[in-house]
Structure 1
Amino acid sequence: MSRPIATVVALVLVLSGGPGNTDPASAAPPAAPSEWTARWAAPADASPFAYGVYHFRRAFDLPTVPARFVVHVSADNRYQLFVNGTRVVSGPARGHLSAWPYETIDLAPQLRAGRNVLAAVVWNLGEHAPLAQHTWQTGLMVQGDGPAERVVDTPSHWVATRNAAYTPVTVDFATVRGYWAAGAAERVDGTQYPWGWEQPDFDAAGWSPAVAGPPARPREARDAASRHMLVPRGIPLMEERVERIARHRETATAGIPEGFPAVPVDIRVGARERRRILLDRTLLTTAYPELEVSGGRGARIGVRYAEALYAGPKGNAKGHRDEVAGKTLAGYGDEFLPDGGARRVFRPLWWRTYRYVELTIETAAEPMVVHDVRSVATSYPFEQTARFAADRADLDRMLEVGWRTARVCAHETYMDCPYYEQLQYAGDTRIQALVSYFMSGDGRLARQAIEALDASRTFEGLTFSRAPSRLPQYIPPFSLWWIGMVHDYWRYQDDEAFVRAQLPGMRAVLEYFAARQGPDGHLRDVGWWNFVDWVDAWPNGVPPVGKAGESAPLDLQLLLAYQYAADLESALGARAQAEAYLASAGQLREAVRRRYWQPERRVFADVGDGSRISQHTQALALLAGVVDTAEQAALAGRMLSDADMAPASIYFRYYVHQAVVRGGLGDRYLDLLGEWRRMLDLGLTTWAERAEPTRSDAHAWGASPNIEFLRTVLGVDSAAPGFRRVVIEPHLGALTRVSGRVPHPKGFVDVRLERRGSGVEAEVTLPAGVDGEFVWGSERTPLRAGTQVIVK
């Protein structure tokens, strides 16, 4: 009998690193090979574009164990590489054909003297692939780093075969009750599976020699020999960690041993028996579910995944997320058909998102034993280095839920939601990147996002709304938020060379918008989908447009972008260009005040005739400095109290809350988190996309409190590019004691605050070489590196 696949599961953890040094200077890509000698390898007699799962093997001999054996690996769509039966790396990181990542790894720890075997599984989901997955044609590329390692270059002496066990299970809107873009699920027929294919002693005599494809070439090679323009992976490997599913929730518990599934215990399913078992992870996760069984030839095992259960057969009403009685599970799922072998482990090729897992088991003539159901959780390896503590327990819970949301929405890219779409939208990602800066200090995934969106930019100047994405979608306001992302990165990450490289793209975006400004400065006929926020009164999230084609939210986003661009050009680019952007900003600022200000109501309208108003327009006007200082607090107050204003959703409240602070009402911030408290009351363990009823239970644009607990309440913010100066301006509200730590490019900023009547006692520690100021009301106190105590 072949060695069961279960024996390799834990070994994937070997190369699952933490975030490491997040200094951009230390994040240089690994060295490329001294010479590119490999070619892409493909399986024989297989369509290069259609759905398929393939295995590759290369056996070779070594006289001794080498001290170093470095290879560069990539594939289309994806791969997992094994060395002598041990899984060592998965990839490639998501990218696009003009910048196709490869992983660099030292295989020496897994090698031995004598016979060695490299084995890979490569899959191309074809038309069933996730929308974020770019592709050209099925292939594997292994390139030895130097002469000694080139013995394993593809395709020489590699053999390959198609795994006939896999077929796609399509997922549609009706299946999951919402828009779906995350690709197909899997049906795996164990009777067709080549068990043990990755093991050194597997007999691959029936496999065919791999077919040579185009030469492997790096990006910027003289001649493009392949559509895959190879670049080193710019982010760390994903974290993987074994986690247990906490409990089962089925009402009929007969035959379910005590402890299952929190501990591995056998469940015996008799011949011709049907079982349904509802499992509850108790919190939402992104993980590879693993089902280990023996026997059961001819059985069918369905595994369905859901973020929550639904209150009825239609709609998105879910109720309290802990409740299961009388509810319905609607979700996508995989299907596994056992072959009757011992200790077979079924694990999908791609991770799944779930809190609830429904197992449906139908046996045939042969009984089956379910040994274990477990999870291998995966996400980008962010490490939380921030700390926040206050004399209110609900804030701790919010911080925890927000960080979990950020983690499950961060993988090889940021993702709007891990269940439905898995797409990196600029509007979402700006907030997600800021969460990363404040909670971990790690800017590498944000660099990836900025580059991916920049690479998506068309000849007209707009970026895609999301990248990577096989299908174009344009949301012009998201191109403006991309400029905001670059500006944020410049403020919080010490990496001027990278920011400077984004200036041409920024200019192209602004040229698109400048061409659509009228003589008075207002935008007209922007085109495409001008989504701003999910407001019930705004069709498809598009704000009102006046009779002359004007829209205050769009004008104000452009104004902010001009201001960001002027900052960046002044510091890193062309002084004349900075002055031009300032002039454009000045013209637009005055145009906004003239057209949209309503002197009787003392608010800005969304359109020129004053008929529509929204929180969005007030927030953007405050952030863009359109409001005179004397009016700011009053306008911020009206933004919060005027019931006629279209309200901001969870997403756009990030900007509303910033505007509250800009208006001098930062001490009210903690009173504005009612929607987040309602989500906690409903048992959510991650923040939802929208207020109830919501499609997605995990949308990281809702994690903005993780930013503001540190930036607004604790008060720590950047006061110069690269965080080279620090400003600390706390807004304690009703709190009496707050302490925390914020990661900084040179270490950490530590703050302890305690109210003293109407004043405060603050202990502040800044990293070496960093200064700043402490602000309390109208008083400003200089700060220096090291520890100091301020009493106000």
Structure 2
Amino acid sequence: MKFINKRIFLFFAFCLTVYFAFAVDVKVDTERKVKEAIPNPDLQKKVWDAMWITCPGVSLLDYGVYHFRKTFDLEAVPESFVVNVSADNRYRLYVNGESVCYGPARGDLMHWYYETVDIAPLLKSGRNVISALVWNAANYKPGAQISLNTGFILQGNTEKEFIVNTNDSWKVINDKAYSPSPDNRQDTGCADRIDGLIYPWGWETMNYDDSNWLKAIMISRALPYGLGTGYNWVLCPRDIPLMEDKPLRMKTIRRTNGIQVTDTFLQGKTSITIPANKKVSFLIDQTFLTNAYPMLTVSGGKGSEILIRYAEAMKKDGQKANRNDVNGREITGWVDKFYPDGGSNRLFSSLWFRTYRYVEVDITTKEEALNLLDFYGMYTAYPFKENGSFVSDEADLSKIWEVGWRTARLCANETYFDCPYYEQLMYVGDTRIQALISLYVSGDDRLMRKAIKMFDYSRTYEGITASRYPSHVAQYIPPFSLYWINMVHDYWMYRDDPIFVESCLPGVLSVLEWFRDKIDARTGVLGYLPHWNFIDWPKEWPWDNNLPLGGTHRATIDGGSAIISLQYAYAIKDAVDLLNAFGETYLAERYKQLGASISNHIWNDCWNESKQLLADDLQGSSYSQHVNIMGILSDAVPQNKQVEVFNRLDTDSSLIQATFYYRFYLFKALKKVGLAEHYVSMLQPWKDMINIGLTTFAENPEPTRSDCHAWSASPCIDFLATICGVEPAEPGFKSVKVEPHLGTLKRIKGNVPHPKGLINVVLEQKGDNLKGRIILPAGLSGTFNWFGNKKALCEGINDINVSKK
């Protein structure tokens, strides 16, 4: 092989291209006063001067919340004062009482991220204090949280900032006010219980007396990659921006018990007094699902109990219905518990954000009245900007766009999430779709690059990627490794970044070889496949706790799965493109022949002439949309039969049906066979979700577990890639093809972000005629095609006036 080992170079170039919770007594500014900064490159070339520090006298492996402080003097306010900071599990940094940033961005022990920020705007001449809230959720940590042990580190960027480097000059306390609230615990971790009576109010401010605090103990020096004889956390510069944080007012009160609460309280215009020895509750409806840190400010109420519960939807007998309904329904879910100490202006927030549409507040007071001063959310998400857009003459599509983009945003943070409420894990199958949404709507590719690399890092001795990563519980879904190959190919098509793509090729080959080793020599297709070979969630493939089955066909265990064999052939097609592009022509030809062989065997052994469809396995035990979709995408179905097969799979209700997730591939097949004019008429499942009150798109058709699952937001891709028809014409998006499919629509307008600028498409369809314009950014050219009408596109304005041939 001719691969040059560029992985270390790529890693640093990638990182340089480019937060969890706040203390309960600190108000958070609506705008950050500090900015992200560039880490000193020398920090990746030498052992750091700062030390990892922790709290003495505690188990470093158990649950604990800690406060660290360092006071220091400055003769004058510096123009810049850059620090690099990280922790295990999580931290929030403060300077002179103000929140700075939080993190670290999730990774693994070999890629442990640190944030770099310039804190100069918060400094003053004379005495200053820098402080950090650090916690280890231990056995209660989220599924995506990898951990070694409790630790904190802060390193000045240059010698002038070394005064704040972590060492035993820092002070620390173990804050016993925090404990887990594990009610309705999910993979996202647990909720919080905070006892205000023993909380060290004001700990992050300059005037706080820390004379009784302990001297921090030093664990070890901080190590970047390549400099250790042994490693703890291998420090890497953060490769994505800080998360967006902005106040989000809660919308409306839906019901109360024992008290009158009006929407003016939620608007921050009035406060509420709850008398002593009273039990009350009220239900808040945000009116749409969101991710936010709850921000509740109270005074008085010593000894009171405040329970805050969060839910995606109200339930009756454990079942959801129309998401707008609350009558006769109850709320179940996470419960934060806060116990005020009686002081003034105490602000409660959770260590990690909460996902909610509905919030129920249950309060029990004791001998002292409690004043609720304010309650709102601090919205958080990856800072995607909605640069892309789509409008048409059908209002329903605008609502699908809005709900789809909200779904995608709630499922993107320091990694992509499958769902924000239940798991917050980054799965390859979900992430491929999410990454394309990011490119089409925002144009920001940084989280996509991070995702591709994280999955590459996850490969073990077997060669396949983990199905989800980072994750402290290993899980392998082999078909997801094939989607990772497609994802690398997607990036190659949409971004001109050959060094990055080439660095992924060893992983691509590793995955291909894992599957090649599983081909049964007798049948020429995949035999027994270990692990969980998830395909989709149709009702015909229910979960079986005694087998790695659920969302998959029995043939993945017995051998002869036509679905996954053809998915392998589909991934091989993309891999062959990549190998040819990077000069690996011998390997490309080898895999091309393998893909053709698999496709031929499936066609010969699984094609049912009477049904005119492919069967799911060699035994012909069942028939699904899935296998025929993959038959089209892999070209196992001869091209002259693909339209016929698609029409049959789309109209035969006896077939096992694709759910929201797999319809992304259904629509790819639709476009491939030249039937994309039907796309707009196939959107009823998304309209149905909106009609039952969903404000994000669900994991599955009803009944569904998750009300927000990013794989269901794929219309945000297809509105621009299929209806507007904007796609790369060649790798690196060096040119564009615009092949619109308006279907029944009369007018469309779309904007698609491109590395050179926005691509603007405005078209109107009248009968057999299409008029409008396409505007390309400077330096971009392409082609237009509509019903055989072809036209060269150049930078600037291109007028369109064509008729169907």
Q: Which amino acid in structure 1 is aligned with residue 292 of structure 2? A: A
Q: Deviations over 1:224-250 (max 9, x none)?
A: 3x4100000000000000010001111
Partner residue of 2:609 out of 599, 608, 622: 599
Q: Which amino acid in structure 2 is aligned with residue 642 of structure 1? A: D
1:376 aligns with 2:378: yes
TM-score w.r.t. the length of structure 1 is 0.95
Aligned to 2:14: none
Structure 1 residues 71 and 457: CA distance shift in structure 2, 3 A: same
Aligned to 2:316: 311
Q: In the TM superposition, what is the alpha-carbon distance from 1:687 to its structure 2 partner?
A: 0.4
5 Å matches for 1:339-488?
339-488=341-490
Aligned to 1:8: 27
Structure 1 residues 482 and 330: CA distance shift in structure 2, 3 A: same
- Residues 5, 196 of structure 1: 8 Å contact kept: no
Q: In the TM superposition, what is the alpha-carbon distance from 1:8 to its structure 2 partner?
A: 3.1
Residues in 1 aligned to 2:473 and 2:202: alpha-carbon distance in whole angstroms: 38
Q: Aligned with 1:40: secondary structure?
A: strand
Structure 1 residues 488 and 10: CA distance shift in structure 2, 3 A: same
5 Å matches for 1:360-759?
360-519=362-521, 520-539=523-542, 540-545=550-555, 549-759=559-769
Structure 1 residues 64 and 16: CA distance shift in structure 2, 3 A: closer
Aligned residues: 770
Residues in 1 aligned to 2:316 and 2:734: alpha-carbon distance in whole angstroms: 51
Q: In the TM superposition, what is the alpha-carbon distance from 1:546 to its structure 2 partner?
A: 8.4
Aligned to 1:203: 209
Q: In the TM superposition, what is the alpha-carbon distance from 1:609 to its structure 2 partner?
A: 3.1
Structure 1 residues 779 and 628: CA distance shift in structure 2, 3 A: farther
1:169 aligns with 2:181: yes
Q: Aligned with 1:75: secondary structure?
A: strand
Q: In the TM superposition, what is the alpha-carbon distance from 1:12 to its structure 2 partner?
A: 6.0
TM-score w.r.t. the length of structure 2 is 0.93
Q: In the TM superposition, what is the alpha-carbon distance from 1:328 to its structure 2 partner?
A: 1.3
- Residues 261, 282 of structure 2: 8 Å contact kept: no
- Residues 253, 261 of structure 2: 8 Å contact kept: no
Aligned to 1:186: 192
Q: Aligned with 1:563: secondary structure?
A: helix
Q: In the TM superposition, what is the alpha-carbon distance from 1:488 to its structure 2 partner?
A: 0.8
Aligned to 1:20: none
- Residues 632, 664 of structure 1: 8 Å contact kept: no
Q: Aligned with 1:10: secondary structure?
A: coil
Residues in 1 aligned to 2:569 and 2:33: alpha-carbon distance in whole angstroms: 49
Q: Which amino acid in structure 1 is aligned with residue 329 of structure 2? A: K
Deviates more, 1:722-731 or 1:233-242: 722-731
Structure 1 residues 29 and 759: CA distance shift in structure 2, 3 A: farther
Structure 1 residues 785 and 432: CA distance shift in structure 2, 3 A: same
Query: Runs of 4 or more off by more than 4 Å in structure 1?
Result: 4-7, 27-30, 251-254
Q: In the TM superposition, what is the alpha-carbon distance from 1:253 to its structure 2 partner?
A: 7.6
Residues in 1 aligned to 2:41 and 2:98: alpha-carbon distance in whole angstroms: 25
- Residues 492, 722 of structure 1: 8 Å contact kept: yes
Aligned to 2:546: none
Q: Which amino acid in structure 1 is aligned with residue 747 of structure 2? A: R
Q: In the TM superposition, what is the alpha-carbon distance from 1:83 to its structure 2 partner?
A: 0.6
Q: Deviations over 1:11-31 (max 9, x none)?
A: 6633588xxxxxxxxx99763
Aligned to 1:23: none
- Residues 747, 765 of structure 2: 8 Å contact kept: yes
Aligned to 1:273: 278
Partner residue of 2:135 out of 123, 130, 135: 123
1:43 aligns with 2:55: yes
Q: Aligned with 1:752: secondary structure?
A: strand
Aligned to 1:220: 226
Unaligned regions of 5+ residues in structure 1, if any? 18-26
Q: Deviations over 1:226-279 (max 9, x none)?
A: 410000000000000001000111155843246221334211101110001101
- Residues 253, 262 of structure 2: 8 Å contact kept: no
Q: In the TM superposition, what is the alpha-carbon distance from 1:544 to its structure 2 partner?
A: 4.1
Q: Aligned with 2:760: secondary structure?
A: strand
Q: Aligned with 1:502: secondary structure?
A: helix
Q: Aligned with 2:489: secondary structure?
A: helix
Residues in 2 aligned to 1:564 and 1:377: alpha-carbon distance in whole angstroms: 38
Q: Deviations over 1:741-778 (max 9, x none)?
A: 10011112111111142131241112222222111123
Aligned to 1:236: 241
Structure 1 residues 258 and 594: CA distance shift in structure 2, 3 A: closer
Q: Aligned with 1:616: secondary structure?
A: helix
Q: Aligned with 2:33: secondary structure?
A: helix
Structure 1 residues 276 and 547: CA distance shift in structure 2, 3 A: closer
- Residues 32, 232 of structure 1: 8 Å contact kept: no
Q: Which amino acid in structure 1 is aligned with residue 423 of structure 2? A: E
1:772 aligns with 2:776: no
Residues in 1 aligned to 2:34 and 2:677: alpha-carbon distance in whole angstroms: 45
Residues in 2 aligned to 1:743 and 1:258: alpha-carbon distance in whole angstroms: 39
Residues in 2 aligned to 1:253 and 1:488: alpha-carbon distance in whole angstroms: 56
- Residues 544, 612 of structure 1: 8 Å contact kept: no
Unaligned regions of 5+ residues in structure 2, if any? 1-22, 543-549
Q: Deviations over 1:55-103 (max 9, x none)?
A: 0000011111111211110000000110111111111000100000001
Residues in 2 aligned to 1:730 and 1:707: alpha-carbon distance in whole angstroms: 13
Q: Which amino acid in structure 1 is aligned with residue 245 of structure 2? A: E
Residues in 1 aligned to 2:724 and 2:75: alpha-carbon distance in whole angstroms: 60
Q: Which amino acid in structure 2 is aligned with residue 746 of structure 1? A: K
Aligned to 1:154: 166
Residues in 1 aligned to 2:120 and 2:764: alpha-carbon distance in whole angstroms: 54
Aligned to 1:67: 79
Q: Which amino acid in structure 1 is aligned with residue 384 of structure 2? A: F
5 Å matches for 1:284-295?
284-295=289-300
Q: Aligned with 2:255: secondary structure?
A: coil
Q: Aligned with 1:94: secondary structure?
A: coil
- Residues 245, 280 of structure 1: 8 Å contact kept: yes
Q: In the TM superposition, what is the alpha-carbon distance from 1:48 to its structure 2 partner?
A: 0.8
Structure 1 residues 253 and 336: CA distance shift in structure 2, 3 A: closer
Q: In the TM superposition, what is the alpha-carbon distance from 1:506 to its structure 2 partner?
A: 0.9
- Residues 35, 119 of structure 2: 8 Å contact kept: no
Q: Aligned with 1:249: secondary structure?
A: strand
CA-based RMSD: 1.7
Residues in 1 aligned to 2:261 and 2:124: alpha-carbon distance in whole angstroms: 44
Q: In the TM superposition, what is the alpha-carbon distance from 1:782 to its structure 2 partner?
A: 1.9
Q: Deviations over 1:537-566 (max 9, x none)?
A: 113101241897201110011001111111
Structure 1 residues 693 and 467: CA distance shift in structure 2, 3 A: same
Structure 1 residues 486 and 761: CA distance shift in structure 2, 3 A: same
Partner residue of 2:304 out of 288, 299, 304: 299
Aligned to 1:263: 268
